[in-house]
Structure 1
Amino acid sequence: MQLYDLDAAATRTINSLAGASAAIDFMMVWVSAIGVPLLVLAVAGQWWRGSGRTRSRHVLVAAGLSFLVGLTINQIVLLFVHRMRPYDAGVTHLLIARSADPSFPSDHATATFAIAAAFLLHGMRRLGLWFLAAAVLVAISRVYIGTHYVSDVLGGAMTGIVAAMLVRPLYREGTRVDQLIIGIL
């Protein structure tokens, strides 16, 4: 069995659950549509959190930078990789409107995993694990609704994690730039 066949089979298995329950379909479409904006709002909402404000703000900025770096990496990947969406290849049936851009990597997975990885890499374990759970749910929802292959969301997750790993040593806590940024508001 080739890797594509394994990827298509895993994708088909997850997507085959779509249509069995209107409530689950609705939830997965909803998670897919507003998961990223909700995570961004959850990160932004931490800005005014009480204790450890300086440390928290540094991590919040690092999460935002990881998000942006991850999506930038995706744009570079898209210059070289033009993967057909699984619904166009007859692998899945789609629950939402068609997308005009290529399938690999998943921007949704990149964005959410970048946020989770930034929190985890900066030692904010409790919040990081919540963000990680949300990222996994968003990634699964993208396959469930038929818009991505499993490997698309795994590639997006890796891009997000790599972005957070790149940001970690480059945006250091306590530097002048860090103090300027976290001093805002």
Structure 2
Amino acid sequence: MEEFNRTLFLAINASVHSSAEMQLFATFLAQWLITGVPLLLIGLWLRGTRQHRAAAVTATLSIVFALGCNLLISSLWFHPRPFMLGLGQKLLAHTPESSFPSDHATVMFTFAMALMLASLRELGVLMLLLGMSVGWARIYLGVHFPFDIAGSLLISLISAWLVPQVLSWRHLDERFLDALECLYQRVFPETARRNAQL
């Protein structure tokens, strides 16, 4: 399996002849696309219905849980990044730490899965495609193996499914959302009133 992982990495990783434009595009995907996630979460809360706000809360908690799983896995099992093994081209600055799983891909995939499970399928599918693009870019730039991205997808699936199950116990999801909406209305009364009228 490890040999296949390395072979697949070398097939996706940038060649020595890759263009500067392609490297710039991949760097945008690998480093900056993830900044859209908190903006979309805020947008779902501010401009959406109660269903959208519930999806934003569930997605946020799912992402936090998934990243916690990543931290636990990487602390228990160290897997070197490709450039630490002298494999391929490294075109993105990165510290020499464990590669499995990818935090960037995990955030994107977990957000996508949480949206789809919350019946926001179109946005969820879009985020899934963007997540795949992020995963490709991080392999292309030499900081992750393909199995790191596949592992992120698996962790995201589990997290996005498990967190809502836990929250639905004794209607914790509804009670938590009620508390957050009440806090939001007290802290930002004018904004909450304007958004309620949209």
Q: CA deviation at 1:34?
A: 0.9
RMSD: 1.6
Q: CA deviation at 1:83?
A: 0.5
Looking at structure 1, the residues matched to 148 and 124 of structure 2 have their Cα atoms a distance apart, in angstroms, of 22
- What TM-score results when the alignment is normalised by the length of structure 2? 0.85
CA deviation profile, 1:24-75 (whole Å, cap 9, x unmatched): 110101111112112221222222215xx11100000111011100000011
- Letter of the 2:129 partner, please give it: A
- Letter of the 1:151 partner, please give it: F
Match of 2:18 in 1: 20
Q: How many residues align?
A: 181
Larger radius of gyration: 2
The partner residue of 1:139 within 114, 135, 142 is 135
The partner residue of 2:37 within 36, 39, 45 is 39
**Residue 176 (str. 1) matches residue 175 (str. 2):** yes
Looking at structure 1, the residues matched to 5 and 65 of structure 2 have their Cα atoms a distance apart, in angstroms, of 26
Cα distance change of structure 1 residues 46 and 147 upon mapping to structure 2, 3 Å threshold: same
Match of 1:157 in 2: 153
Q: RCO greater where, 1 or 2, for CA within 8 Å and sep 6 or more?
A: 1
Q: CA deviation at 1:153?
A: 0.9
Q: CA deviation at 1:156?
A: 1.2
- What TM-score results when the alignment is normalised by the length of structure 1? 0.91
Share of identical aligned residues, percent? 27
**Residue 55 (str. 1) matches residue 51 (str. 2):** yes
Cα distance change of structure 1 residues 171 and 145 upon mapping to structure 2, 3 Å threshold: same
Structure 2 runs not aligned, ≥5 long: 185-198
Match of 2:193 in 1: none
Structure 1 runs not aligned, ≥5 long: none
Task: Give the secondary-structure state (helix, strand or coil) at the position aligned to 1:88.
Answer: helix
Between stretches 18-27 and 103-112, larger displacement belongs to 18-27
